[in-house]
Amino acid sequence: MLAGCGSSTHPAPTTGIPSSLRAQARPIGTGPRFQPPAGGPPIGRCRSSLGPRSGVHIELFAANRVVIIPAGIGTRPPRSFSAGRISRAGCYGDLVTLEPTGVVLVRTGARLNLSSFFRSWGQPLSTTRLASFRAAPGERVGVFVNGRRWLGKPGTVPLTSHAEIVLEVGPYVPPHASFTFPPGT
């Protein structure tokens, strides 16, 4: 075993992340199925400024891996980026993603749901389909809202301020207890 300055043969503890969460961490999937691009139309009127918004956090899991929600959903070119985040777009629809974190910004007053989000993304969503992934025969897409199982159709989940939404196909992934939203969302 190699050891460097100030190191030991014992692994350093991971600080700041509780061990229960480290045990639940899932890797990001590889390949285009796990990183589908933004490809649908903006929903609602496409405006030149972002305007007031509230945040919704959406996490997707397929085959026990993270599916990335891309930046650029609900926007039109030209787009400018700063530090991996969209800093300017040709226009902004009623729901947008500015960075690939799962935070969806919903225009204040817009009444949208997951079907609206997936339509703007250009990806399918149904009781048996999550983007390019299909549930196993006899299984359904798992949906959790604020840590509780959603019993209705996935597309009917409302995009309400600070909702924490988890969708999964494949093995059960415990929903996170909470998400810290960026300031101003």
Number of domains in the chain: 1
Residue 141 Ramachandran class (φ > 0 left, ψ -120 to 50 alpha, else beta): beta
Write down the residue that tokens 């903006």 correspond to.
42
In whole angstroms, what is the distance from residue 168 CA to residue 81 CA? 30
Taking alpha carbons only, the member of 166, 176, 131 closest to residue 35 is 131
> What residues make up the domain containing 147?
27-169
pTM of the predicted model, to two decimals? 0.85
- State pLDDT tens for residues 31-76: 999 999 999 999 999 999 999 999 999 999 999 999 999 999 999 9
Q: By the 8 A CB rule, do 173 and 26 touch?
A: yes
Residue 46 lies in a domain: yes
